[in-house]
Amino acid sequence: MTQPLEPLRMLSTLRSHGVAFVLVGETAIAARGGPIDFEAVEICIPEDQQNLRRVCLALQHLGAIPVGPDAADRSSYQTVAGGLDVIELRDGFAELSERGSDENLGNGLVARVASMADLTEMARDAGDLAGVVTLAALETDVVHIVMEHEDEFGPTREAHSGPRWVDRLLVRLEGVDEFLTRTVYRDEHQMRS
């Protein structure tokens, strides 16, 4: 039976056991302001025997049960706090951690979160187009967009907030309806046979 995901409980347990980790994946995207919609917490850990012992103790504390096939550098667990994916980095953990930043995840829990650039690269490597798009949207500044449209009561102005690329797209699409109407019905007499 799948346990409900409690990321703060899981990460607090890892922190309380002194586990060195960097938060990655959808959980890290959520920590950076993305959607809070993920099925498991993903962390990267260094290849360090002492840290591995701490991870094992934390997993025991969380009642972890291995799920799925383990890869050479990745393992997945079902815990009392939900799913946990552990990625062991042989090389590059120090750089990943250095490029990341400490983020307050709530309830006083501070964890190291991978940088936006590293998250984007990981999403691309995994073929996660939705993750790449989400990260790109998070990196652009949010601007105030005013949409004008006409309804049965006359012209209406509607305020929206969104990334700048949406504003540019809306400006380009402003006249599409009128353009298509002119193109299709411009010379009706020429369309007849």
Give pLDDT, residue 126: 84
- Output the DSSP codes for 88-137: EESSSHHHHHHHSEEEEEETTEEEEE--HHHHHHHHHHHT-HHHHHHHHH
pLDDT at 54 (0 to 100): 97
Q: How many CB atoms lie within 10 A of CB 136?
A: 14
Residue-by-residue pLDDT tens, the chain, 193 positions: 566 889 999 999 999 999 999 999 989 988 888 887 788 999 999 999 999 999 999 999 999 999 987 777 889 999 999 999 999 998 899 999 999 999 999 888 999 999 999 999 988 888 887 777 777 777 764 433 344 455 555 555 444 445 555 555 555 566 666 656 666 665 554 444 4
Query: 120: Cβ–Cβ under 8 A, 6 or more apart, which residues?
Result: 131, 132, 135, 136
Contact criterion met (CB below 8 Å) for 40 and 82: yes
Taking the model in full, what pTM does it have?
0.69
H or E segment at 151? Answer: strand 142-151
- The reported pLDDT for the residue numbered 146 is 41
pLDDT of residue 75: 93
Which pLDDT does position 112 carry in this prediction?
96
Question: Pairing between strand 40-46 and 82-89?
Answer: parallel
The Cα 18–Cα 15 span in angstroms is 5
Instruction: Give the pLDDT confidence score for residue 18 in this predicted structure.
Output: 96
pLDDT at 159: 47
Take residue 2 and report the two structure tokens written for it: 């799948």
Q: Give pLDDT, residue 13.
A: 96
